[in-house]
Amino acid sequence: MTARKEIRFILNDHDITLQTVGACDTLLDYLRLERHLTGTKEGCAEGDCGACTILVGRMTGGALRYEAVNACIRFLASLDGCHVVTVEHLSGADGTLHPVQQAMVDCHGSQCGFCTPGFVMALYALWMQNPDPSEDEIETALQGNLCRCTGYAPIIRAARAMAATGNPAKDFLIRERENITTRLAGLTDGKRVEVEKDGDRAILPADVDDLAQVLVQNPEATIIAGATDVGLWVTKLLRSITPAVFIGHLDGLRQIDVSDSHITIGAGVSYTDAESPLTGAYPHLEEYWRRIAGWQVRNMGTVGGNIANGSPIGDAPPVLIALGAEITLRLGQAERRVRLEDYFIDYGKQDRAPGEFVEAIHIPLMAPDSLHAAYKISKRRDEDISSVAAGFNVTVVDGQITAATIAFGGMAAIPKCAAQAEAALVGQPFDQAAFIAAGAALAQDFTPLSDWRASADYRMKAAQNLFRRFYLEMSESDQPVRLAQA
């Protein structure tokens, strides 16, 4: 296949074509250092603070959709065929502020101003989705933005006030949607894209079959989906990732299929896109899912990336293992299906051969007699990595526990089922004593580590207490299991 040797995208209102792009080049560096668009700030360079928030628009399901993302960990090469919108594009040519900016001014939402462009862009993304958002939607949209001056209350007031300050129909991105859609269509040609700078190579396969071929030819390549892990390897660890194979643009990996027995999620589906189908089928994941990272990272990060990276503290694996998930791995034309739990072999070691990639995740629908819960324990509610995460799946028939799959993250070198605790439950009556005994058996399953997130004792105690909590929540007890959120 002949490859195109340039990437093409729209930046605000300019068509951009770049021939010399390295795999490691970030959008933030490009904006600030090459385009001098310095409204986009660098606070942390690791996706945590939101100061670099910009919008990326791309064709999704036949429609142009804009999402807030972190420019600091978004690689430039991945923007082929996209529309990048920075804060400079918001105000009118005559300097009139955008309604979102005006609301920030009116509500005194800015002090030193460093975080302000990032907040404005996150609120802008929200305003485009819903010009009159609920409190819950405002909190979700601002999960990924930090401010060290305002105490957040004026920013939240600005978010509430946005509805009164302007008419979305007059907004540039909404008015120009058709024009941008036509221009984006003109940029794409269905070809593989290969660009490089000083030997730092980036490849964007044309489709999933092409991806399989590229990886067979380059088995040592770094696969990049949302880059919310890999981005930090570059910005924090200064690692080389060449050759890098980008997969986030591949529609064939972004499909979600629902059958009578399973939900199948393509490995390139983002947390945001997975949220509605997953929480519809597995309501216990609703709160848990929104506690994964923050809004911008969920717009970029994929479920496949969370599995493939093999981290012991990834949030998706424990709850998906508890649901009995399997994954499809593909090497060239050969596909194989493995239980998700079996994919994790040891710390840093997964059942994946060089050149092989995760293609899809298959999650069985819940059995009628089964009880489910998902728990995340972290220092902060939002935008924090788990100290302990757990998925519970317990089947009760006529008051007896007949099956239990209980998986933990943060308790071992890999996400893993608690075999002894499960065995302690099966065959027992569904009562509190059984769950306290199962919690005690957990000490035979795991010897957790102490680190900066939690001590080993804390992890064990917290995990054991989750057994009691699960029982109390499921038994419709009137005991308070958790405080209602203020």
- List residues binding ligand FAD (CB under 6 A): 46-48, 222-230, 247, 267, 292-293, 297, 300-302, 304-306, 308-309, 314-315, 357-358, 383, 385
348 interacts with, out of ligand FAD, ligand FES, none, CB within 5 to 8 A per kind:
none
Tokens of 155: 């920013």
Nearer to ligand FAD, 89 or 254 (CB): 254
Nearer to ligand FES, 119 or 344 (CB): 119
Binding mask 68-97 toward ligand FES (x if CB under 6 A, else -) reads: --x-x-------------------------
161 interacts with, out of ligand FES, ligand FAD, none, CB within 5 to 8 A per kind:
none
112 touching ligand FES, by CB under 6 A? yes
Tokens of 234: 């570059």
128-187 residues near ligand FES, rule: CB under 6 A:
147-150
For 251-371, where are the alpha helices, taking DSSP H only? 271-281, 286-290, 295-300, 303-308, 316-322, 340-343
Closest-approach residue to ligand FAD (CB): 305
SS3 letters for 321-349?
Answer: HHCCCEEEEEECCEEEEEEHHHHEEECCE
Residues 124, 103 contacting (CB under 8 angstroms) = no
Nearer to ligand FES, 119 or 408 (CB): 119
Nearer to ligand FAD, 32 or 291 (CB): 291
Token look-up 């943060």 returns 410
101 touching ligand FES, by CB under 6 A? no
The Cα–Cα gap between 220 and 244 comes to 9
Which residues, in sequence order, are CB contacts of 330 under 8 Å at separation 6+? 212, 356, 357, 359
Residue among 201, 294, 212 nearest 250 (CA):
212
Nearer to ligand FAD, 131 or 318 (CB): 318
Nearer to ligand FES, 235 or 464 (CB): 235
The Cα–Cα gap between 146 and 446 comes to 35
Binding mask 34-63 toward ligand FES (x if CB under 6 A, else -) reads: --------xxxx-xxxxxx-----------
Binding mask 411-450 toward ligand FES (x if CB under 6 A, else -) reads: ----------------------------------------
The Cα–Cα gap between 376 and 469 comes to 13
Edge to edge, the sheet with strand 7-11 lists 14-18, 7-11, 83-85, 53-60, 63-70
Nearer to ligand FES, 43 or 304 (CB): 43
Which residues, in sequence order, are CB contacts of 275 under 8 Å at separation 6+? 289, 290, 298
State the minimum distance, in angstroms, from the CB of residue 35 to ligand FAD. Answer: 24
